[in-house]
Amino acid sequence: MNLEYNQIKKAEGLEKLHHLEILDLGGNQIQEIRGLDTLRNLKRLYLNENPIKELKGIEHLKRLELLDIVNCKIPFKPNWTCLPNLKIISSDFYSGNPRYE
């Protein structure tokens, strides 16, 4: 599901999309990751270019394989151990993060 660049501030109304595997929320206004609890089949999540300050709210996405967080403002390197299937993290994770440039 492509919801990029829609000025979304909160990921709402996705609770019943239990079979969703790809979600693109890139280029929005999301600061906190909430509302993804029921998306247990999610394999690809694009959160790039959002003013996200911390990666809480994705630890239950055990099937997640790809996470794109380019140009997010996360101030520390997240602990990925809670996501056992995560194989690809956007290669320029720290791009746009002033703490790491």
Q: pLDDT per residue over 76-100, tens digit each?
A: 777 778 888 988 777 455 555 444 4
Whole-number pLDDT of residue 101: 43
Whole-number pLDDT of residue 92: 53
Domains contained in the chain, number:
1
pTM (2 d.p.): 0.85
Among 37, 40, 50, residue whose Cα is nearest residue 19 = 40
CATH number of domain containing 72: 3.80.10.10
* CA 96 – CA 62 distance, rounded (Å): 27
Whole-number pLDDT of residue 19: 96
* CA 60 – CA 44 distance, rounded (Å): 14
Among 25, 26, 51, residue whose Cα is nearest residue 36 = 25
Q: How many CA atoms lie within 13 A of 9 on its CB side?
A: 0
Q: pLDDT per residue over 34-80, tens digit each?
A: 889 899 999 999 999 999 888 888 989 999 999 998 888 777 777 77
Domain limits for position 70: 1-101
